[in-house]
Amino acid sequence: MELLDRISPVVVGHVGESDSVDMGDVLVVLE
């Protein structure tokens, strides 16, 4: 799935910096 491939690295990056991933961050990627 291309969408997950695009989101996964971003989510992992956010998790690395913070223990929580805001839905806002994911929505920004989706836009």
Range of the domain at 30: 1-31
The half-sphere exposure of 17 on its side-chain side, counting CA atoms within 13 A, is: 8
Say what percent of the chain tops pLDDT 90.
0
- Count: domains in the chain: 1
Is residue 25 within 8 A of residue 6, CB to CB? The reply is no
**Placement of tokens 């836009």 in the chain:** 31
Residues 10-23 pLDDT 10s: 666 555 555 555 66
- Give Cβ neighbours of residue 3 (< 8 Å, ≥ 6 apart): 30
Cα 31 to Cα 17: distance, rounded to the nearest angstrom: 22
In 3D, which of 31, 30, 25 has the Cα closest to residue 11? Answer: 25
